[in-house]
Amino acid sequence: MRKLRVVAILLLVSLTAGACLQKMNKKNDSNIRIKERTSPNLIVILADDLGYGDVGFNGCKDIPTPNIDRIASQGVKFTNGYVSYAVCGPSRAGLITGRYQDQFGFSRNPLFTPNDPEMGLPLTEETLAEALKKTDYKSIALGKWHLGAHESLKPLERGFDDFYGFLTGGHHYFPEKWVLQDEFEVKSQYDAYKTKLLRNSKRVEETEYLTDALSREAVQYIDKYKDSSFFMYLAYNAPHTPLQATEKYLNRFDTIQNKKRRTYAAMVSAVDDGVGRVLEQLEALKLTEKTIVVFLSDNGGPEPHNGSDNGELRGMKSDLFEGGIRVPFAMQWPGTIPSGMVYNKPVISLDIFGTIINQTKKTIKTKNKIDGVDLMPFLLGENKEAPHDYLFWRKYDEQIYAARNASGGKFVVKDQDTMLFNLDNDISETENLIRNSKNKLDSLEQVFNMWNLGNMDPVFMGLIHNKKYNELNPDRFEKLESKNN
């Protein structure tokens, strides 16, 4: 009897210990992941005005994008990948801060105003480069900046160690068109497309087609920083207008009859080549498994302007229908994220910030509360919930609003017309369900209104105020002496 009791006690002890161990192991599993944090590199490859349907991994037929597709096949393709705004500037402000840009009044495309310290990303905001500087990262910005042209707002003032590119919202692609020495030779908003490129704060004589030059720089900077952790923000302006491509790329698309589409295809192909060069450089330097690579577009394609194609999505750049905000979006981290994954729950560009700051060896405390979340637990199956219960969009000047939930419900308010869609079975937003689903609308609107309470009015005039800004600031492009001099 006594023997039996001892056996029973022993059994109980071992069972309890087993359960405890199991619990500890589970805890340890996550601890192991934390311990193994290696401060991976991050390369964000941002295309400009690329349509949802214009990459192979989203079904594009006439423009091969084998290298961009490789990111999706070596990692995860996000089918419901969003940006936080439907045009360039605010979308970039969201991505680089991990916050909805409406929260700090960046709700318009900024003007090119080199004397205006208010025109761009407010200094209250912390960029991803600044956050990563708190640990052991080097950061490089390449290509289009668009977050301010004033001295205090340039990339090197915002946490980046290196910059090669241009400050405004677009640029000519051929070096012979870069005739202006600096920003003070600019005489109008779109003159800025003609400035010589900047390397850090110096103007340079570049001789390559712009997309190729940016790819070359990316490859070189990866080599330069191969021994440290780095963040590379590779912001191609392609395939944003003006539509300009070299024969090398145009020759690949002899079969496309439409001239606009053909040039667009050539520009996308140049970006794809660049992505290939970046991935090959990572391979050559044995950095592939140490590097998270994200590819996305800053907004949907403006179809009639650049010949892009948003596939089955309704609307285009500037719309809060899916065609304006749902973008090609893929991420690889071989050895950590399983290859060939398709993730269907909604994610947003703000999550890039949320993800990387949770992978660094040293914990980073951000200056502001960010809206992006760490996607890793979701991609590794540790968390089966949706990363976001809701996503929000606001176009302040036009009073257009949208919100969606994780189960496909989306509302759009435009021209005082309120629409409700179920994206899960109507990705093209063809059927307005508002009459039959008043309750769903009410709850989405309520959540949106709560979110909107935390937003600010725009803090600077935008592209639409170009004329008015010129009237108020006749010295807009004059080189003013610094107040400190």
Residues that bind Ca ion (CB under 5 A): 48-49, 88, 298-299
Helix (H, G, I), strand (E, B), or coil: what is residue 420? strand
By beta carbon distance, the residue nearest Ca ion is 88
Structure-derived torsion over alpha carbons of residues 112, 116, 118, 121, reported in degrees to the nearest 10: 50
Sign, CA dihedral 333-68-325-395, equals positive
- Alpha-helix runs per DSSP H in 285-412: 303-306, 322-325, 351-356, 376-379
Q: Provide the terminal-to-terminal Cα distance of the chain, rounded to the nearest Å.
A: 96
Our answer to whether residue 88 is catalytic in this structure is: yes
- Alpha-helix runs per DSSP H in 362-481: 376-379, 438-453, 466-472
Neighbouring residues of 59: CB distance < 8 A, sequence distance ≥ 6: 53, 311
Nearest of 69, 41, 64 to residue 342 by alpha carbon: 69
- Least distance in Å: CB of 42 to Ca ion? 21
Cβ closest to Ca ion, residue 131 vs residue 238: 238
DSSP class per residue in 229-252: EEEEEEE--TTSSS----HHHHGG
Nearest of 64, 77, 89, 88 to residue 270 by alpha carbon: 64
Tokens of 34: 């934390």
- Annotate 16-54 with b (16+ C-beta within 10 A) or e (fewer): eeeeeeeeeeeeeeeeeeeeeeebbbbbbbbbbbbbbbb
Residue 197 is given by DSSP the state P
**Residues 60, 88, 171, 240: which is the catalytic one?**
88
Residue 181's identity, in one-letter code, is: Q
Our answer to whether residue 60 is catalytic in this structure is: no
Cβ closest to Ca ion, residue 120 vs residue 409: 120
CA distance 413 to 418: 4
Neighbouring residues of 345: CB distance < 8 A, sequence distance ≥ 6: 80, 378, 386, 387, 406
Tokens of 170: 């677009």
Cβ closest to Ca ion, residue 242 vs residue 334: 242
Alpha carbon separation from 471 to 196, 418, 467 (Å, rounded): 27, 37, 6
Tokens of 351: 């999550």
Q: Which residues are catalytic?
A: 88, 146
